Amino acid sequence: MKEINNIALADLPLPIKSLFTGYLLVIGLGLLMAGAQIMLTHGMADGKFDLSVDDIVYSYHGNRDAKNASKLEAKLNGSMKENAPPEVRLAMIKWVRAGAPESEWETTIRPLVVENCDACHANIPGLSNISKKEVMLKLAAVDNGASIASLTRVSHIHLFGIAFIFFFVGWIFSFATGFSTLGKSLLIATPFAFLIIDIVSWWLTKLEPGFAWLVIISGFGYSLASTVMIFSSLYQMWATLFRPKKIDPASLQ
């Protein structure tokens, strides 16, 4: 097989190997951090530390069922269930299902919040201060998932930014040996294809939750392809340094 410019990764000058290696190591670490960030954001959408189809649905489509249709009601029936008396939870849930009328905020709901929730929510950093009306109204709204504006912003950032990552990883891998031309071409193209599927599936899941599977499959697909290219490239650049050198019998004579 004829390699690009007849140069293989193992034959690159040491400075170029160092450049490529530094880039691949940083990108590999970045991909690991991206995975951790996904687990801590989308992975916690259903209140559990894992990444499931429900997490994807809640993140992009939202939770639009009659029960737990708002983030506030979901919390009152979930992680916050044991932190307020049943009558308090019932009063708040009725308020939410009635459309969270502002006329009842000062007279009915806010006193309940101050008495039962402020000890944590008004004093612990990172928790929403639900004694503020605007915060409570936002939590009481029906959870429709990611907004169109948010999807548009994140989509273009991912398409531009991640495409650059895949381009340089693929370019370095194009100097690899031991792969057929077709196999190498397909492997280089795979992350780009799955990236497009990933972004499109966000929008499809926003409309129909059944497409949430595509988000998980596409993310796994481009991660696996990138991992194969990164490790293959690193191995081919440096494995020759640890192989014993062949001794020419003629040199011993």
Whether 95 is in a domain gets the answer yes
Query: What are the 10-residue block averages of pLDDT along the chain, 253 residues in total?
Result: 65 93 95 79 58 74 64 74 82 82 85 83 76 80 76 91 94 93 95 95 88 90 94 92 56 49
pLDDT at 2: 47
Do 102 and 227 belong to one domain? Answer: no
- How far, CA to CA in Å, does 197 sit from each of 139, 179, 219? 31, 26, 9
Q: Which of 140, 160, 186 delimits the end of a domain?
A: 140
pLDDT score recorded for residue 69: 63
Predicted local confidence at residue 176, as pLDDT: 93
The answer to whether position 251 is within a domain reads no
Q: For the CA atoms of the chain, what is the radius of gyration?
A: 26
Q: Tell me, what's the pLDDT at 134?
A: 83
Q: How far apart are CA 63 and CA 96, in angstroms?
A: 14
- Under 8 Å between Cβ of 39 and 47: no
Number of independent structural domains in the chain:
2
Whether residues 48 and 157 fall in one domain: yes
Residues 88 and 213 placed together within one structural domain of the fold? no
Residue type, 139: L
Q: Is residue 184 part of a domain?
A: yes
CA distances from 166 to 2, 8, 145 (A): 23, 19, 29
Q: What are the b/e assignments for 185-195, b being 16+ CB within 10 Å? A: eebbebbbebb
Q: Which distant-in-sequence residues (6+ apart) come within 8 Å of 212 by Cβ?
A: 53, 56, 57, 60, 61, 201, 205
The token duo for 167 is: 């381009």
> Which domain range does residue 216 map to?
4-55+145-241
Of 92, 116, 140, the position where a domain reaches its end is 140
Whether residue 160 is found in the same domain as residue 208: yes
Which of 125, 140, 155 is the endpoint of a domain?
Answer: 140
